[in-house]
Structure 1
């Protein structure tokens, strides 16, 4: 069937068939790890490296290394803040473009998506259209003709490369999925500039169990042809990153908070976001220095870039006219503390505070437990708490879970368990639960009516946050893809 006969919904349904439950086992990565000085820290890593096959699949699409390099790529790795850094970088360049005409067209590839899969692939300051996504999606599906096919994130990265090449962008900003050295996006051989955001322990099964392991992988995006920048890091990871930069013959520069950033925007109210923005400003300025030396980011560009920052589910505030909803995809302890700090700085002590919090992959509900325990540690006053779960069209229940919970009772069981344990941890709080996000949000809204408005803190995994945002501000033009995750959430209290 010709691509023209397919539609956007066909693309979404086919994309879901690419999802897999777990990384395929392949001991080959261990032998690759033995070729670098971090051998002792990389033993036991599992899975087929995501980088494998990317070059060949791009060639199947008709794209050479030169085609990729001509995208003038800004490559960003890190644990937290990658999406914000990429978006700030895009905003600075877009503001500069409006003022000067360059860069004419900007591509941005970030993840995860919250309300719509097309959020991952943007041109200028908006997701690609349904028609564009559909057209390039089915061109990308040429890989089905081969024996080996891309996995989900590999496919999306290929789709981004393909879209940006076909659309002739002047600069492409690529966010690493996870890691760096073996990540699918590291098929980029000659970026213009690279950057690394804050580091923390993530994907330890693939990347290793120490920050030094993580740093080694993230610094894998460094290339001999490209200046490298990072936000300040702890001493151990910092030295590993410097060593990797030296291997490439480049100097790694650590970027402090830039005093040129405005102070009157809530998105920059916490130090980590100011660091992300400072790194982004450095990346944008370095890009322009290399490509058009006579162009400079102006004070007006900086102000407009920050003012127009919008990234679904990241330090986002939704005002429904009655209550304020502070939304962030905090789903690890580090990001949770940062989000709680942001919420605390922007709430009114005279207004009842709530928090809709903590969604997580149902295969590891214990991680949600750790997260809401961290939420308790950052709570300053007693308040209201509501636990809920992310409702999904399709759920993958592991065989272990089927032995413990029947699928129809899993959500309510987790809600009840967490509600009981929270109440035991802080008896002062009013704790309730509902297994569906719709009803939990409705309950929060009712609280807002009875209390003359609330300030709600919404945190959790992208799927849970996406469902909340679809309720708070429905976007009928965006068609979300099916999600496979279940999470735990709560509505809480005022935070320090």
Structure 2
């Protein structure tokens, strides 16, 4: 199967919906020879920061000389971003070959009268098979949705289960309270397993502690309170933090936002467990270089300067709060042109966090069936009495935002990862 046929097949399974549960993926993987059972997994769940935390862990392990798989979702620009080994996307020909292999097993399932696997289940199976064939030393595995019934949760004995900050998102699937959402995320905790968690809000933390207690899990909270920020500017950040019983000085990351320092600290804590409990050798040099070199596209990423253009995949209240902190800290004295596009099923009140910073706004529409129209978005935002320009087409929205900006201004695009990926491609091609 070639790459384009593989993509058409994968995306064609979207019609089978999103079914939470492990029966289908378990059966599919069984027919494939259970490739996931041959992998050493670091499993990462949470509402925000999953991708960044996963990429920090993968970057440090790669720097330590290991062959590291990284499985994430969604993708920004190219589908192959979702399945990586040592920072390189799965080659298109390999994706075609592995998809053909998985498709055969899916057809066998269906011929036996079983349900057709969903798109995410198929992609997860493709990832497991590719990582097995690549003989990766470790797989950093990001949960797709929730945790308990997510297809990635077929992994039985991860080296460590990691839970990043929990907040309200996907409430139709995961529940309408922090406790309910935390219960779903805590579903990745295994019997007698090691668990690293961001110190959550009280309601969420209580649930995680209860699940750990029931499963005899060993819970380690990331030492967020011990962080000492040394420097923050629009080129990066440096900080000190506890690492076990010692203090690590002058960790530098290229990513912006205090929340990324917190994500790095969660990653650091997971790496500590790998080192101390599983004997994984990680030199201090690998630690420093892995954090410094890590980038996570589309998350507070500066695409150009003069004018400075910042893109951020913030698409829920916690993400918007993190973005607003960066705008307030680094760009409080700048004119900000804000490009916004969101999905219709999101709580638009999250925009209250960033709209006050804007001098002008360009409203656009993500290329997604769930996108909110620019007219509806304008209706919601007109209360701010800002200058508003509507450009349904994303390319036109980018051009309009740039045309409104002087060299000293800041252009910010946020609201949906589906939009940010396209904005990123447009800006890269413009260079």
Q: Give the TM-score normalised by structure 2.
A: 0.87
Taking the aligned partners of 1:453 and 1:75, their CA distance within structure 2 comes to: 42
Secondary structure at the aligned position of 2:315 is classed as coil
Q: Which residue of 2 aligns with 1:89?
A: 57
Q: Which residue of 1 aligns with 2:4?
A: 9
Q: Is the 8 A contact 2:315 2:342 kept in 1?
A: yes
| 2:113 is the counterpart of 1:118 | no
- Measured after TM superposition, the shift of residue 87 of structure 1 is 0.3
Q: Which residue of 2 aligns with 1:250?
A: 217
2:264 to 274, 277, 284: 277
Q: Which residue of 2 aligns with 1:354?
A: 337
Q: Which residue of 2 aligns with 1:135?
A: 97
C-alpha spacing 1:422/1:205, structure 2 compared with 1 (3 Å): closer
| Higher Cα radius of gyration | 1
Q: Is the 8 A contact 2:338 2:412 kept in 1?
A: yes
Superposed CA deviations along residues 283-306 of structure 1, whole A, max 9, x for unmatched, are 12322334435x2441x3233122
Q: Is the 8 A contact 1:92 1:281 kept in 2?
A: no
Secondary structure at the aligned position of 1:80 is classed as coil
Q: Which residue of 1 aligns with 2:69?
A: 107
Taking the aligned partners of 1:205 and 1:419, their CA distance within structure 2 comes to: 25
Q: Which residue of 2 aligns with 1:174?
A: 141
| 2:333 is the counterpart of 1:333 | no
Q: Which residue of 1 aligns with 2:391?
A: 434
Q: Which residue of 2 aligns with 1:238?
A: 205
C-alpha spacing 1:322/1:297, structure 2 compared with 1 (3 Å): same
Q: How does 1:180-259 map to 2 (within 5 A)?
A: 180-257=147-224, 258=227, 259=241
- Measured after TM superposition, the shift of residue 206 of structure 1 is 2.4
| 2:420 is the counterpart of 1:465 | yes
Taking the aligned partners of 2:250 and 2:429, their CA distance within structure 1 comes to: 31
Q: Which residue of 2 aligns with 1:267?
A: 255
Secondary structure at the aligned position of 2:342 is classed as coil
C-alpha spacing 1:21/1:224, structure 2 compared with 1 (3 Å): closer
Q: Which moved more, 1:322-331 or 1:259-268?
A: 259-268
Q: Is the 8 A contact 1:191 1:225 kept in 2?
A: no
Taking the aligned partners of 2:46 and 2:378, their CA distance within structure 1 comes to: 34
- Measured after TM superposition, the shift of residue 420 of structure 1 is 4.9
Taking the aligned partners of 1:95 and 1:129, their CA distance within structure 2 comes to: 22
Taking the aligned partners of 2:389 and 2:327, their CA distance within structure 1 comes to: 22
C-alpha spacing 1:297/1:357, structure 2 compared with 1 (3 Å): farther
Q: Is the 8 A contact 1:359 1:368 kept in 2?
A: no
C-alpha spacing 1:373/1:93, structure 2 compared with 1 (3 Å): same
Q: Is the 8 A contact 1:215 1:241 kept in 2?
A: yes
**Runs of 5+ in structure 1 lacking a partner?**
1-5, 24-47, 98-102, 397-409, 476-496
C-alpha spacing 1:196/1:386, structure 2 compared with 1 (3 Å): same
Q: Which residue of 2 aligns with 1:369?
A: 348
- Measured after TM superposition, the shift of residue 166 of structure 1 is 1.2
| 2:312 is the counterpart of 1:312 | no
- Measured after TM superposition, the shift of residue 198 of structure 1 is 0.5
C-alpha spacing 1:249/1:422, structure 2 compared with 1 (3 Å): closer
Q: Is the 8 A contact 1:333 1:371 kept in 2?
A: yes
Taking the aligned partners of 1:422 and 1:296, their CA distance within structure 2 comes to: 49
Taking the aligned partners of 2:294 and 2:127, their CA distance within structure 1 comes to: 22
Q: Give the TM-score normalised by structure 1.
A: 0.76
Give aligned pairs, total: 404
Secondary structure at the aligned position of 1:173 is classed as strand
C-alpha spacing 1:452/1:201, structure 2 compared with 1 (3 Å): closer
Q: Which residue of 2 aligns with 1:343?
A: 327
Secondary structure at the aligned position of 2:167 is classed as coil
Q: Which residue of 1 aligns with 2:378?
A: 419
- Measured after TM superposition, the shift of residue 153 of structure 1 is 0.8
| 2:412 is the counterpart of 1:454 | no
Superposed CA deviations along residues 22-49 of structure 1, whole A, max 9, x for unmatched, are 54xxxxxxxxxxxxxxxxxxxxxxxx43
Q: How does 1:470-485 map to 2 (within 5 A)?
A: 470-474=425-429
Secondary structure at the aligned position of 2:64 is classed as helix
